[in-house]
Chain A
Amino acid sequence: MELLRLATAGSVDDGKSTLIGRLLYDSKQVYEDQLESVERTSLARGDAYVDLALLTDGLRAEREQGITIDVAYRYFATPRRKFIVADTPGHTQHTRNMVTGCSTADLVVVLVDARNGITEQTRRHAFIASLLRIPHLVVCVNKMDLVGYSRERFDEIRQEFEGFATRLEIADLTFVPISALNGDNVVDRSGEMPWYQGTSLLHHLEDVHIASDRNLIDLRFPVQRVVRPRSEAHHDFRGYAGQVAGGVLAVGDEVLVLPSGFTTTVSSIETADGPLEEAFPPMSVIVRLADELDISRGDMICHPRNRPAIGQDISAMVCWMTDAPLAVGAKLAVKHTTRWARALVREIHYRLDVNTLHSDPSVEELRLNDIGRIDMRTTSPLFYDEYRRNRTTGSLILVDETTDATVAAGMILHPGS
Chain B
Amino acid sequence: MTYQLTHLDALESEAIHVIREVVAEFERPGLLFSGGKDSAVLLHLATKACWPQAVPFPVLHVDTGHNFPEVLAFRDRRVAELGVRLLVASVQEAIDRGEVTEDRSPGGTRNRLQTHSLLRAIEEHRFDAVFGGGRRDEEKARAKERVFSFRDEFGQWDPRGQRPELWNLYNGRHHPREHFRVFPLSNWTELDVWQYIEREQLDLPSIYYAHQRAVFRRDGLLLAVGPHSQPREDAPDEEVVVATVRYRTVGDATCTAAVESTASTPAEVIAETAVARVSERGATRADDRFSEAAMEDRKREGYF
Contact = CB atoms under 8 A, between A and B. Distances in A.
Given A1-B7, A229-B52, A284-B17, A395 B166 contact: yes
A180 interface: no
Interface string A335-373: 110100000000000000000000000000000000000
Interface string B45-78: 0011101111000000000000000000000000
B3 A73 contact: no
Contacts of B187: 73, 75, 84
B225 interface: no
A392 B175 CA distance: 27
Interface string B133-171: 000110111011000000000000001101111111101
Using C-beta atoms within 8 Å of the partner chain, give the interface range for chain A: 35 or more
Contacts of B141: 58-59
B159 A70 contact: yes
Looking at B53, B169, B296, which has the most chain A CB atoms within 10 Å of its CB?
A: B169
A100 B12 CA distance: 21
B101 interface: no
A409 B168 CA distance: 12
A78 B137 CA distance: 16
B296 A33 contact: no
B23 interface: yes
Interface string B255-277: 00000000000000000000011
Given A2-B4, A60-B293, A73-B186, A32 B277 contact: yes
Interface of B is mostly: loop
B298 interface: no
B169 A395 contact: yes
Interface centre among B7, B13, B49, B167 (most CB of A within 10 A): B167
Contacts of B130: none
A211 B1 CA distance: 12
A59 B162 CA distance: 13
Given A233-B52, A404-B175, A392 B13 contact: no
B228 to A, nearest CB: 24
A175 to B, nearest CB: 28
Contact of B3 (A2, A32, A99, A280): A280
Contacts, number: 177
Contacts of B9: 283
B10 interface: yes
Interface string A186-227: 000000000000000000000000010010100000001101
Interface string B17-33: 10011011000000000
Nearest to A211: B4
Contacts of B171: 335, 397, 399, 404, 406
A161 B105 CA distance: 60
Interface residues of B, number: 60
B288 to A, nearest CB: 10
- Most chain B C-beta atoms within 10 Å of own C-beta, residue among A74, A84, A273: A84
A273 to B, nearest CB: 8
A396 to B, nearest CB: 7
Contact of B165 (A84, A100, A278, A392): A100
B101 to A, nearest CB: 26
B167 A395 contact: yes
A211 B136 contact: no
A151 to B, nearest CB: 37
A284 B184 CA distance: 14
A-B pairs, 6 with minimum CB distance: A58-B140, A33-B282, A272-B51, A31-B279, A272-B48, A284-B16
27 contacts: A1-B7, A32-B277, A32-B282, A55-B140, A58-B143, A59-B140, A60-B292, A63-B293, A70-B159, A72-B140, A73-B143, A73-B186, A75-B137, A97-B162, A104-B168, A211-B2, A224-B17, A224-B24, A225-B23, A225-B24, A243-B168, A270-B52, A282-B13, A283-B9, A335-B171, A395-B167, A397-B171
